[in-house]
Amino acid sequence: MKHFMMIGLLFAFLVNMTGCQQSPVTNKAPKADVREAVWDQLTDEKRNHIKGTWRDASVQKVVFQKSMGSITDKSFIGKEVYMIDYPSNDSLLLGDVGVFADVKSFKIIGYGYRE
């Protein structure tokens, strides 16, 4: 009888302890969308060429090559960056507006060539 009582107490104790585990609380805001972060950095002149808003853009990670566009910091050549492609009002003539951004800071580092 004592054996069953000890097993019952042990079982109740284990169930109680597993129910008391706390999950870590994070106060971090969700990671910002790189499309929106880059959109906020664009000049009005650049935005005037874009059809729609930042939500209409596509984004991908690419390894930047010299032939892809013009960048301000040459240390990004050969490194992984974001390429954000905003649809353009004049895409038939010049192509879409391509913007390159740092993967860590989302800061604009350059622009893609347009025809």
Q: What is the pLDDT of residues 45-89, one digit of tens each?
A: 989 889 999 999 999 999 999 899 999 899 999 999 999 999 988
Sequence letter at residue 84: I
Share of the chain above pLDDT 70, in %: 70
> Which pLDDT does position 15 carry in this prediction?
52
Q: Annotate 49-75 with b (16+ C-beta within 10 A) or e (fewer).
A: bbeeebeebebeeeebeeebbebeeee
Quick check: 19 pLDDT over 60? no
Question: Taking the domains of the chain in order of start, what are their residue ranges?
Answer: 34-112
Query: Which residues pair with residue 85 across a beta bridge?
Result: 58, 98
Q: What is the pLDDT of residues 24-34, one digit of tens each?
A: 444 333 456 89
- pTM here is 0.69
The set of residues, in sequence order, having a beta carbon less than 8 Å from that of 47 and lying 6+ positions away, is 39
